[in-house]
Amino acid sequence: MNKTLVIIGHGMVGHRLIEEIRERDTAENWRIVVLGEEAHPAYDRVALSSYMAETTAEGLSLLTPETRRDRRVELLTGVGATAIDRTERRVSITTGDSLHYDALVLATGSRPFVPPVPGADLPGCHVYRTLEDLDGIRAAASPGTDGVVVGGGLLGLEAADALRTLGMRPHVVEVAPRLMPVQVDEGGGAVLARLVGDLGIEVHTGVATASVHAGEHGGVGSVELTDGTEIDTGLLVFSAGIRPRDELADSSGLPRGERGGFLVDGGCRTEDPHVWAIGECAAVRGQCHGLVAPGYRMATAVAEQLTGGGTAEFEGADGATKLKLVGVDVASFGDAHGTSEGALEVVYANNAQGTYAKLVLDDDATTLLGGVLVGDAGAYDVLRPLTGGPLPGPPEQLLLPASQSGGPTAGALPDEATVCSCHNVRKTDITEVISSGAVEDVAGIKSCTKAGTGCGSCVPMLKNLLDEAGVATSDALCEHFPQSRSELFEIVRATGITTFSRLIAEYGTGRGCDICKPAVASILAGSTTSHILDDEQAGLQDTNDRFLANMQRNGTYSVVPRVPGGEITPDKLITLGQVATEFGLYTKITGGQRIDMFGARVEQLPEIWRRLVEAGFESGHAYGKALRTVKSCVGTDWCRYGVQDSVTMAIRLEMRYRGLRAPHKIKAGVSGCARECAEARSKDFGVIATERGWNLYVGGNGGFSPRHAELLASDLTDEDLIRVIDRFLMFYIRTAERLQRTAGWIESFDNGLEHVREVVVEDSLGIAADLEAAMARHTENYTDEWGAVLNDPEKLSRFVSFVNAPDSPDPTIRFTEERGQIRPEPTDLPMPVPTTGRKTVTEEVSA
């Protein structure tokens, strides 16, 4: 390592350069010193908004353990550069020291543009750029009040959504006549404004911020717009664009571009042969690029020059963008505004569904030049790579939603089409590694080609290319675990591992995702006796399990206590009525013989459950992938047709399997005779009484593909019935895949039900005793989850609407009255999407 490379700036592009150099510099000629002004190492700034919800700074970090250990890389965080002496090749830094360099790369990025508005420097004015910025916004947010975002571009809408996540009422102010004016046209902007407005974000277009007025305490009190509108607010976020960070041009004498940025040639080299610039601070041939994908391409070009001595150049930027606000897709690519000479436009708009799509074609309508998609961007992954090439079919067919047209497929792409713009990976690069047999899943494609490791928008296309190549889908749980769910279950059982972090460290890679985390949480819940909200376990749960309640459409939660067999005392009925009245809940008797209560705010859940637990109720596990109910008819006690005591058996089974965590929810039924009043054959396992005992049916329901359960064993005694069900359920839990119902699980075996019968009834594998013992451990160690929460202050602290205002109810939750009960106030909001990770409840409300 006889040469020193100094990189000023440790953002996404600066970090990409480090990785590119490490990969290419096999002779270890370069020692790399990196200066990062922020306290945090490089992190995924594209996913910055997720930090406001579920993601931690560590979760966003791009710094891998391998890079941390690499002796070639020295990272100085919290250290910036103050001056460059090109004659001596030294960089002065904020510690007072200076660093020698043989090569210098400027990756200083950009800074947010704050318009010269009177009052823009008042306390309460923020920008939206770094983790520290978001920490400041979170601390200043006041749920139930108005917040203002200046700027209606991509980052401005993300900032507005972040304020909504914090329980505020966001206003977006955009000086252009439409939102996202760079990406979408007038028609797309109109649809986008309506969709964003439906999310509770008030849009002001065609106006600017005139002034910011101080409030009573010296901070922001209100914002005045140029049309005279005045918005009372204590929080203002500027997201009105960026400017290159090129201050070091003053001390170094390096020339700037006409609009700022270090002026560089096609190889990203300045007029000084020892100095390069990449990313947002680089004016390549005079033009700056504000997206991460062009910055990555610049990093690759510079790395090739430094390690290979070649003349690699930056080949230009793909300006395609794709935004996913909650419930709103927006995408644009190529010549989205039809500025090319002779360009033609084909437009599809469905105002009823809130979708807009436009293709821009050349003058003979055979070549795709660009497009805009709003409301449904499903075609983006195929259309963007087709830009500049011939259309694979009639344009109107490409524009129609996939449900109506079948949509374009990966096969429509020409071989030279760029699938991954972040790493400039072509379709042929991917199909070649697939056809060579070197890869069998998306993770393999990522490893071999780097496609999908940038912004991630091309990952669906990678899956399509695998499918079209006829590659069988791997049974790996996800890209972080090569094992299937059943294999991971056996690993946990054999090793005694009790935490996700240890499991992924020893048997997986990376940090996990919203697929493997809840799946592993379910495995651990079925293998240990710890509470699902204990320590690290809490962060793995999905939305419902994290709050031990089912989240409903308007962000409230349901309360569903267990009522075994549907049998309930009058006193308990009275308690349910009292609780529902006191907390203003909607009540409904379900098909599973219990009473659901809807409309509870998250901060009300502990007190509601305290009342219920004191009355003798326990969790009904309506929120979990677990046993829900065992439905029963009235049996021999009351029915003149009953031949067995179905109520007693239903209660016995429900109490035995309550809290049993599984790959999917489990429902059961017990009918006292062949008249089948409990509908047992529509359940995951169903029991029907006979004159000689019980018939056991399994694999009913099936979710999206309903089916009747099939007979597994007949004329069983009470004890034999329970023994076979023990084996069946535990065999299912150990071998089924993630979110696989019992019906699909049985069908996945060769010989289907016959194989299950051989294992469960005939003990062909010799594991029956082990399965029974595992179920016995479950029943012995069962504790009520809500009862445990009420006795643990740390767990109780999770149940707040806003982490930054724990005593404030969510102001977005509103009800109307119908038929004497509350109902969610009518809204066009999409249903909240359950997610994983550590979140504020406000994120759930806004989802």
CATH number of 3-111+244-308: 3.50.50.60
The one-character DSSP state at 472 is P
| Stretch(es) of the chain classified as CATH 1.10.10.1100 | 409-474
| Stretch(es) of the chain classified as CATH 3.50.50.60 | 3-111+244-308, 125-240
Q: Is 91 strand, coil or helix?
A: strand
* 288 known member of a binding site: no
Report d(CA 144, CA 510) in Å as an integer.
Answer: 38
Indicate the pairing of strand 275-277 with strand 103-106.
Answer: parallel
Q: Are 195 and 213 in contact (CB under 8 A)?
A: no
The one-character DSSP state at 393 is S
CATH number of 550-781: 3.30.413.10
In this predicted structure, what is the pLDDT of residue 840? 35
Q: What's the distance, CA 156 to chain centroid?
A: 20
Q: Is 24 strand, coil or helix?
A: helix
Please count the CA atoms within 13 angstroms of the CA of 291 that sit on its side-chain side: 19
In this predicted structure, what is the pLDDT of residue 425? 85
Q: Is 174 strand, coil or helix?
A: strand
Helical H segments across 103-230, by residue range: 131-140, 154-165, 186-198
Average pLDDT by consecutive 10-residue portion of the chain (847 residues)? Answer: 91 94 89 94 86 75 86 93 95 95 96 93 94 92 92 89 88 94 88 87 94 90 95 94 93 92 94 95 91 89 88 75 69 86 87 84 87 83 80 74 53 74 80 82 79 71 78 75 88 87 89 84 80 76 80 83 90 93 90 90 92 94 91 87 92 95 93 91 94 93 75 95 96 90 87 91 93 93 91 86 68 82 68 40 30
In this predicted structure, what is the pLDDT of residue 775? 94
What values do phi and psi take at 236, rounded to 5?
Answer: -130, 130
- As a residue count, the chain comes to 847
Residue 416: CB partners within 8 Å, gap ≥ 6?
426, 427, 428
User: Which residue has tokens 């019935």?
Assistant: 721
In this predicted structure, what is the pLDDT of residue 203? 94
What values do phi and psi take at 164, rounded to 5?
Answer: -65, -40
The CATH number of 409-474, from 1.10.10.1100, 3.30.450.40, 3.40.800.20, 3.40.190.10, is 1.10.10.1100
Q: Are 18 and 7 in contact (CB under 8 A)?
A: yes
Structure tokens at 767: 């594991």
Q: Are 230 and 223 in contact (CB under 8 A)?
A: yes
Helical H segments across 332-426, by residue range: 380-386, 395-399, 402-405
* 677 known member of a binding site: yes
Query: What is the H or E stretch that residue 241 is in?
Result: none
In this predicted structure, what is the pLDDT of residue 671? 94
For residue 499, the one-letter residue type is T
Beta pairing partners, 575: none
Report d(CA 413, CA 385) in Å as an integer.
Answer: 7
In this predicted structure, what is the pLDDT of residue 827? 55
Q: What's the distance, CA 284 to chain centroid?
A: 34
The CATH number of 125-240, from 3.30.420.40, 3.30.930.10, 3.40.50.360, 3.50.50.60, is 3.50.50.60
* 639 known member of a binding site: yes
Report d(CA 698, CA 687) in Å as an integer.
Answer: 9
* 478 known member of a binding site: no
In this predicted structure, what is the pLDDT of residue 409? 63
For every residue of 671-702, which 3-state class applies, written as one string?
Answer: ECCCCCCCCHHHCCEEEEEECCEEEEEECCEC
